[in-house]
C-alpha cells in the first residue's frame, strides 16, 4: 500500500469510518469473531417456551447467505432492522444443526443500520469469474456466422448498439437460481448458443440460423427484468411482466423496424422466445411447437441445471471436503451426489 493510501486509511479510522466490510459469508468459519457488513434478506421474531423473544435474520452478501440469531436484544433490533437494510453485525460464528450461523453479540452496538455512504455496494454484487469481453467477442463471432439476412440484421440492431451491449454484458441471469451474478446473462446465453450450434449438427433438418438467433435472444428480457441495488433485485417491469414477455416485446419491436422481414421467421422466432421455458407452469404462455423451440427449451434447462449442480458441489465442498451429498435443494427438488 502506498503512503498516501495508508494516510488516507488512518484519517478514515480517526474519523470513525469503517471501510472494511469484514469477512464475506463464504469465508466465515466456526468460532470466528464476526464484525461484518451484510444485507438483511428476511427477519422473524419468535418466542421460547419461557416467552423470551429471539430474532432470526437471514443475511447475505455476494458470496452467499447465512442465518443470524439475536438472543439478547431481539425486541429492540426487530423494530430497528428491516428487510433490505444493510447492517454491520457483531457476534460469533457458531454451529447449529450442522450449519454455520452467526450468534449476535450481547451489546448495544451489535447491529448498526448503515447509510449508503457507509458501505461499498459491490460487496453485494457477485460477478462472473469468466472474461466478459472474451465471451462477448465469442458471441459476436457466432453472430457473424448467421447467413440469413433478416436474422443477421436483427442481431446487429442489438449487438452493434454499444449501450445495449454494455447492459447485456453486465446483466445477471437470475436472482438466485442460476448464473445469479453480474455477467451471468452473457455467460448463460453463450453456453446455450454454443450447445444449440452443436445440436444443429446432429439434427440437420432444423434451421441452424433460427436456432442460434433464438438462443441468443431467448433471455434478452432479463436486461429489463433485473437491476443491481445492494445485490440483484427485480425491477417493477420485471415483477409486472417477466423476462419472457419483455424479451418477446423487445424483439418484436425491432423486427417491425426492418422492412420486409420474413413473416415465417418472425413468427417462429417470437414463438421460441415465448416458449423457451417449455411448460406453462414454468412461465411459458405456449408450449414449444417447432423443433428449434424444443431444442432451445431443453438446452436452456440443461445449462441452468448443470450450473446448479456445480454450485451445490462447490458450496458443499467448501464446508466439508469429505461430503458425499449436498444439502436438499428446493430448485432441483433433490440432493446431489458429489463424487
Joined together, the cell numbers standing for residue 241 give 411482466
Joined together, the cell numbers standing for residue 206 give 432444423
Q: Which residues pair with 40 in a beta bridge?
A: 59
Residue 249 burial class via C-beta count within 10 angstroms: exposed 0-12, middle 13-18, buried 19 and up: middle
Give the pLDDT confidence score for residue 251 in this predicted structure.
Answer: 97
**Phi-psi category of 258—alpha, beta or left, where left has phi over 0 and alpha has psi -120 to 50?**
beta
CA distances from 176 to 8, 153, 172, 308, 330 (A): 37, 34, 10, 10, 12
CA angle 283, 169, 247 (to 5 degrees): 30
Residue 318 has pLDDT above 70, yes or no: no
- Please give the span between the terminal C-alpha atoms of the chain, in angstroms, as a whole number: 42
Question: Which of 215, 224, 179 has the alpha carbon at shortest distance from 196?
Answer: 215
Who has greater pLDDT, 98 or 15?
Answer: 98
pLDDT tens-digit readout, 120-141? 888 988 899 999 999 999 999 9
Question: Which of 38, 23, 283 has the alpha carbon at shortest distance from 174?
Answer: 283
Q: Strands, E, within the chain: which ranges?
A: 33-47, 53-61, 64-70, 86-96, 99-104, 111-113, 226-228, 232-234
Contacts of 229 (CB under 8 A, 6+ apart): 121
Q: How many residues does the chain have?
A: 339
pLDDT tens-digit readout, 278-314? 888 777 899 999 999 999 999 999 999 998 898 888 8
Residue 228 has pLDDT above 90, yes or no: no
Query: What is the rounded radius of gyration, in angstroms, for the C-alpha atoms of the chain?
Result: 24
Question: Which of 279, 274, 272 has the alpha carbon at shortest distance from 296?
Answer: 272
pTM, two decimals, is 0.77
Rounded mean pLDDT of 84-89? 94
Joined together, the cell numbers standing for residue 162 give 454499444
Question: Which of 267, 269, 219 has the alpha carbon at shortest distance from 245?
Answer: 219
Residue 48 burial class via C-beta count within 10 angstroms: exposed 0-12, middle 13-18, buried 19 and up: exposed
Give the pLDDT confidence score for residue 14 in this predicted structure.
Answer: 38
Give the pLDDT confidence score for residue 245 in this predicted structure.
Answer: 96
Q: What percent of the chain has pLDDT over 70?
A: 94
Distance CA 296, CA 278 (A): 9
Give the pLDDT confidence score for residue 247 in this predicted structure.
Answer: 97
Give the pLDDT confidence score for residue 63 in this predicted structure.
Answer: 85
Domain annotation for the chain: domains and CATH numbers: 18-121 (2.40.50.140), 132-315 (1.10.3210)
Burial 261-280 (b: 16+ CB within 10 A, else e): beeebbebbbbbbbbbbbee
pLDDT tens-digit readout, 7-48? 344 433 333 334 478 999 989 999 999 999 999 989 999 999
Summary mean pLDDT of the chain: 90
Amino acid at each position: 500500500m502506498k503512503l498516501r493510501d495508508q494516510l488516507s486509511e488512518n484519517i478514515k479510522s480517526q474519523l470513525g469510518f469503517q471501510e472494511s466490510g469484514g469477512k464475506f459469508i463464504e469465508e466465515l468459519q466456526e468460532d470466528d469473531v464476526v464484525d461484518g457488513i451484510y444485507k438483511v434478506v428476511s427477519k422473524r421474531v419468535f418466542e421460547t417456551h419461557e416467552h423470551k423473544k429471539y430474532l432470526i435474520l437471514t443475511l447475505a452478501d455476494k458470496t452467499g447467505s447465512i442465518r443470524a440469531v439475536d438472543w439478547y436484544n431481539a425486541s429492540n433490533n426487530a423494530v430497528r432492522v428491516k428487510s433490505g437494510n444493510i447492517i454491520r453485525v457483531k457476534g460469533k460464528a457458531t454451529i447449529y444443526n450442522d450449519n454455520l450461523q452467526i450468534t449476535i453479540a450481547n451489546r448495544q452496538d451489535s447491529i448498526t443500520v448503515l447509510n449508503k455512504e457507509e458501505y461499498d455496494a459491490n460487496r453485494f454484487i457477485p460477478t462472473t469469474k469468466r472474461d466478459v469481453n472474451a465471451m462477448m467477442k465469442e458471441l459476436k463471432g457466432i453472430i457473424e456466422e448467421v447467413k440469413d439476412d433478416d436474422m443477421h440484421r436483427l442481431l446487429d440492431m442489438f449487438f452493434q448498439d454499444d449501450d445495449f451491449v454494455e447492459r447485456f454484458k453486465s446483466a445477471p441471469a437470475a436472482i438466485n437460481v442460476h448464473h445469479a451474478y453480474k455477467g451471468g446473462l452473457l455467460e448463460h446465453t453463450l453456453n446455450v448458443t454454443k450447445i444449440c450450434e452443436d445440436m444443429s449438427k446432429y439434427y440437420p433438418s432444423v434451421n441452424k440460423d433460427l436456432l442460434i438467433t433464438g438462443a441468443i435472444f431467448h433471455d434478452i428480457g432479463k436486461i429489463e427484468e433485473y437491476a443491481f441495488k445492494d445485490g440483484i433485485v427485480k425491477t417493477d417491469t420485471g415483477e409486472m411482466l417477466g423476462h419472457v414477455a419483455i424479451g418477446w416485446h423487445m424483439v418484436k419491436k425491432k423486427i417491425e423496424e426492418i422492412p420486409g422481414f420474413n413473416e415465417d421467421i418472425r413468427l417462429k422466432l417470437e414463438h421460441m422466445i415465448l416458449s423457451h421455458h417449455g411448460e406453462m407452469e414454468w412461465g411459458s404462455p405456449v408450449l414449444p411447437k417447432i423443433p428449434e423451440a424444443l431444442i432451445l427449451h431443453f438446452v436452456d434447462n440443461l445449462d441452468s441445471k448443470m450450473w446448479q449442480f456445480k454450485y451445490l458441489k462447490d458450496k458443499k465442498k467448501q464446508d466439508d471436503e469429505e461430503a458425499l451429498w449436498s444439502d436438499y435443494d428446493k430448485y432441483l427438488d433433490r440432493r446431489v451426489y458429489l463424487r
